[in-house]
Amino acid sequence: MLVTGNEKLDETLGLNPSTPKKSMLMVSEFIGRSPSLSGAIRVNPWNIDAEAETMEYALTVPEPEKLGFAESSPVT
């Protein structure tokens, strides 16, 4: 499912609420629900190099792929 966001935040940022959100979510692989967040990028927080690479990837991933991550996320 696609994460739809928050109406107040959309209004504050001047975003159209019907526009698909394309944010990336990076979470620690050690959190208990990490496997259930299929749209998230899991990373070992103790591996600083991997975290930096993951952040760079999240910032540079192509738009169509961002939508793919969002659509695979179970969060609504």
- Model confidence pLDDT, tens digit, residues 38-71: 677 888 999 999 999 988 988 888 877 776 665 5
The closest of 17, 26, 21, 16 to 2, measured between CA atoms, is: 21
Tokens found for residue 64: 């169509």
Sign of the alpha-carbon dihedral angle for 59, 64, 69, 70: positive
Question: Between these two residues, 43 and 5, which has the higher pLDDT value?
Answer: 43
Residues 75 and 3 sit within 8 Å (Cβ to Cβ): yes
Which DSSP helix (H) or strand (E) runs through 7? helix 7-13
